[in-house]
Chains A and B, each alone.
Chain A
Amino acid sequence: MTEPNSPEDQTPATTPAAAVLAAPVPTAPPRSQWADVWSQFTHHKGAMAGAVVFILILAGVFLGPLLWQIDPSYIDIRARNQGPSLAHPFGTDQLGRDMMARMMAGGQVSVAVGVTAMLLALFLGSLVGVLAGYFRRIDGPLMRLTDLFLALPLLPLLLVMVMLFRDMLSKNFGPETGIFILMVVAIGITSWMPTARIVRGDVLALKEREFVLAARSIGTTPFKMILRHILPNVVSPIVVSATLGIANAIITESALSFLGLGFPPDFPTWGRLLFDAVDYMQQNPERVMLPGIAISLSVLSVNYLGDGLRDALDPRIRGR
């Protein structure tokens, strides 16, 4: 069945011993499983395209400011609401701030918040989902906890978090890191529930499969079982949750900042740039297009990366 990782798979057990002895001695060293996964991954067209785009985005937002040195918060009031030009390749906003610099600065925050919050939500969701699905005894309590989190109204919850923790965090980590931690945690702990429910559903079905039974019968510990047999088989819903989660985190961040729960108002992020530009959609369409495209591209590239990862982890289609 699907347990993909045992090395025995690679030598069919039915071959007669004589044939094995007669066969030429393999000259190349045996390939490890992860090398296989890696080579499959690098041969996945979608994954490579996704990786290239994602690296370009990262380079653009993190290294770009070294080349394009305009301060994203510098106001040049005479140059307001301009379209693309040589001086401002992406145009300027309603206060004459350079959109290219703002897109770069915004990207740093959005990508960082999006990826970290998504990872946190994935971790929490997968952990709760796998534990609840695998161990029947804690299934009930964990799923009731999930119900509770699903039912909590998001906005008051965030207001409470900000009220309780903002001052403490900014005191200990400085205002910007403090808010970053707050945002990531806020988004993370309010968006892990769907992942948990989905992963649990899959685990419930998986643990009744024959290969799990087989593994258990040879004395595999629950920890090993989860790590080697369960997790690799729930990768696909996790990957989908990851791609949806990153888009979700970027947009949620902008909503939080807009409500005054996040970064200071002069701190651009992609979600915020998009939100601010909606009113100007008819005058300066490029101002909504840019952050919209940037968010979509990041999400698409993560999606293809995830597809590649999923395919690479699936031994049945390896080498296809």
Chain B
Amino acid sequence: MLTYFFRRLLLSIPTLLFIALVIFLLLDLAPGDPTAQLPLTIPPEVREQIRQSLGLGEPLPIRFWKWLVQFFWIEPQVLIDSIFNTHFSAGDSRVLSWQTRSPVMDIVIQRMPQTLWVVGTAYLVAIVIALPIGIYSAYRQYSIFDNVGTFVSMVGFSVPPFFSGVLVIVIFAVNLGWLPSIYDTTHKVYDWETFMVQLRQMIMPVMVLALQITAQLSRFMRASMLDNLNQDYVRTARAKGLNERVVVLVHVLRNSMIPVVTVIALGVPQIFGGAIITEQVFKVNGIGQLLITAIQANDIPMVQTLTFIFAVLIVLFNLIADVLYGLLDPRIRYD
């Protein structure tokens, strides 16, 4: 398994380089222009000058090479410099955003905390809620609990966050006045009271996001449990006189985890990728909002860097999922 892991890790380098190239070509091909959001009062000649100053005049391979060098060579140096107070990167040009004209990685680091807080918490909440619901719904298939669970999760999944987000704002912020409708990214937690403020502003975005994730996870959990509950080994385990709790929560659960692990592994990169619509609705201004504003502004260096980081996470977590399959079901072998 270990050799498999390292072989895959090594293989992912060319994969990622290829993905980077495809993303770059795609962004270059996509229609759009970094000056599109400027007022029409700015004349065309000035727009052309702006484009030239952004480096758009250079041919495609050179722009891609520059990005590769900046991302893989200069940015790590900057990271080392900031940790060890060295000066490797002095004078080198970093990956600069076209919108802000500042280093992309600085903004990414600035946005990380709120995205991790909100989307990460939503994921944890969703997993904690979804797994028990899925397990119990399967165990008591077509019971009232199962039917209510199905109903709520399907409705929860089919109302998009642009609707459910505004709905909870209207109810809890406008009519009841309990919670703030706008997330304060400058808020700092240092004592109990500020923690409560943070909690209050996180409740709505976390709930809206968690609803979607819960719906998805609990459905896969339930389906997979149902497949396993009627297997012969379950009958054998029961016949051996094993405690029902052990049968369900150890034997059946372990065998049912493969699809759930897959879904969670697909979702974890999104904790870092942020949630575009939910972040917009609640003004969380995390990575998701950064990505969508960058796409709208045709800020190619920003989009390229963000999607590439995202790609790294996807490849990594899918690899982790593959390793986990082997641990959950030792019969699965890759070599």
Q: Which residues of A contact B (CB under 8 A)?
A: 1-2, 45-46, 136, 140, 143-144, 146-148, 150-153, 155-157, 159-160, 163, 193-194, 197-198, 201-202, 204-205, 208-209, 233, 236-237, 239-240, 243-244, 247, 250-251, 271, 274-275, 278, 281-282, 288, 292, 295-296, 298-300, 303-304, 310, 314, 316-317
Nearest CB in chain A: distance from B157 CB, A? 5
A244 touches B266 (CB 8 A): no
Q: Which residues of B contact A (CB under 8 A)?
A: 11, 15, 18-19, 22-23, 26-27, 29-32, 142, 150-151, 154-155, 157-160, 162-163, 166-167, 170, 174, 215-216, 219-220, 223-224, 226-227, 230-232, 255, 258-259, 261-263, 265-266, 291-292, 295, 303, 307-308, 310-311, 314-315, 318, 321, 325, 329, 331-334
Q: Can you offer 19 A-B residue contacts whose CB atoms are under 8 A?
A: A136-B334, A144-B15, A152-B23, A155-B295, A197-B262, A204-B258, A204-B325, A205-B258, A208-B332, A236-B226, A237-B220, A243-B154, A244-B157, A275-B162, A275-B163, A281-B166, A282-B170, A296-B155, A296-B159
A295 touches B224 (CB 8 A): no
A247 touches B30 (CB 8 A): no
Beyond A148-B15, A156-B27, A314-B227, 20 additional pairs, beta carbon < 8 A? A152-B22, A152-B307, A153-B291, A155-B292, A197-B262, A197-B318, A198-B263, A201-B261, A204-B258, A208-B333, A244-B215, A275-B162, A278-B162, A278-B166, A282-B170, A282-B174, A288-B163, A292-B158, A300-B151, A317-B230
Which of A151, A197, A247, A317 is in CB contact (< 8 Å) with B19? A151
Which 9 pairs between the two chains have the least Cβ-Cβ distance?
A151-B311, A208-B331, A236-B223, A156-B30, A247-B158, A299-B158, A201-B258, A316-B230, A296-B158
B315 touches A163 (CB 8 A): no
CA distance A209 to B331 in the complex (A): 8
CA distance A271 to B15 in the complex (A): 36
Which of B31, B151, B220, B259 is in CB contact (< 8 Å) with A159? B31
CA distance A296 to B26 in the complex (A): 35
